[in-house]
Amino acid sequence: MDTEISWELYRSYLSVLLEGSLSAAARAMGVAQPTVGRHIAALEAQLGLALFTRSQLGLLPTEAAITLKPYAEAMMASAAALKRAAESQGDGVQGTVRISASEVIGAEVLPPIISQLQSTYPALKVELVLTNQVQDLVRRDADIAVRMAQPTQEVLIARRVGEIELGLHAHERYLQARGTPISLAELKHHALIGFDQETPFLRAARQVLPVWHREAFMLRSDSDLAQLAMIRAGAGIGVCQAGLAKRTPELVRVLPQFGPKLETWLTMHEDLRTSPRCKVTFDALFLDLQQYAV
């Protein structure tokens, strides 16, 4: 490779890798399909590697394509971070800030905070990423993250928000129909709502709540939001953040002796400490999340 390879070629390769076909990648990128095809051919020629093979299922990535994926993702994250930083240049709070949070925090707790931020700073744009996976702030996958574990990277600014208490909850309608359990043993007679796949939280919960395992769940979902929706619908008993349950009078806490807490942190890259868009967002999130947490 005697010449620099254009980022657009890597962008097309990553889109095909994620979407599975030239046509789907073209739609995702908003370009013509032949353009994506030319990009893939040019990248393969410059790298001297075959990246995809054709099959009835679409384009299948080769081992080389899979090996290059994390590097292309890092390039994409850096390009997006560069764009956000460029947008923020100028006087006042402006540009885009990207926030990563868990499904429940992102969907249930952050929207009012973001709404107030946008009212105060109309030129501020917010990208909200809902994921229970830890976003890499060092790689700039996000600018700010709400995490349920203390960050360890030295280049990150981290402030402890507090502890978010969890509890077993059910809708009063469910309890009226099925009764309220008064002991852990009675839970086996109820419709329990939990995860489909094993998770660190599930393993930790079993230490104090032995009945809390996959086989005991009558309703299963790996989405925290789906579990919360089922609790609110009166489908059964599940784990809900105590602060959220208090906002819905119809939700009743059962067996209050089960009350694990999630230590919560707010973090961002130290290079962003002087960024007006990130500073005002970080400060607002910290103050409001502190009020929400214990």
Binned at pLDDT 50, 70 and 90, residue 135 comes out as low
Q: Tell me, what's the pLDDT at 148?
A: 84
Tell me the percentage of the chain whose pLDDT exceeds 70.
Answer: 96
Burial of 177 (0-12, 13-18, 19+ CB in 10 A): exposed
Residue-averaged pLDDT of the chain: 88
Q: What is the pTM of this model?
A: 0.72
Q: Is the pLDDT of residue 229 over 90?
A: yes
Average pLDDT over residues 83-100: 79
Q: Is the pLDDT of residue 2 over 60?
A: no
Tell me the percentage of the chain whose pLDDT exceeds 90.
Answer: 46
Q: What are the tens digits of pLDDT across the range 20-63?
A: 888 888 898 899 999 999 999 999 998 988 999 887 777 889 99
The letter for the amino acid at 169 is H
Average pLDDT over residues 3-30: 86
Q: By C-alpha distance, which of 158, 162, 163 is closest to 145?
A: 158
Q: Tell me, what's the pLDDT at 137?
A: 67
For 32-77, the DSSP string reads -HHHHHHHHHHHHHHHT---EEEETTEEEE-HHHHHHHHHHHHHHH
Q: Is the pLDDT of residue 266 over 90?
A: yes
b (16+ CB within 10 A) / e for 254-289: bbeebebebebbbbbbeebeebbbbebbbebbbebb
Q: What are the tens digits of pLDDT across the range 273-286?
A: 888 888 999 999 99
End-to-end CA distance of the chain: 56
Beta strands in 85-200 (DSSP E): 95-101, 124-130, 144-147, 156-171, 192-194
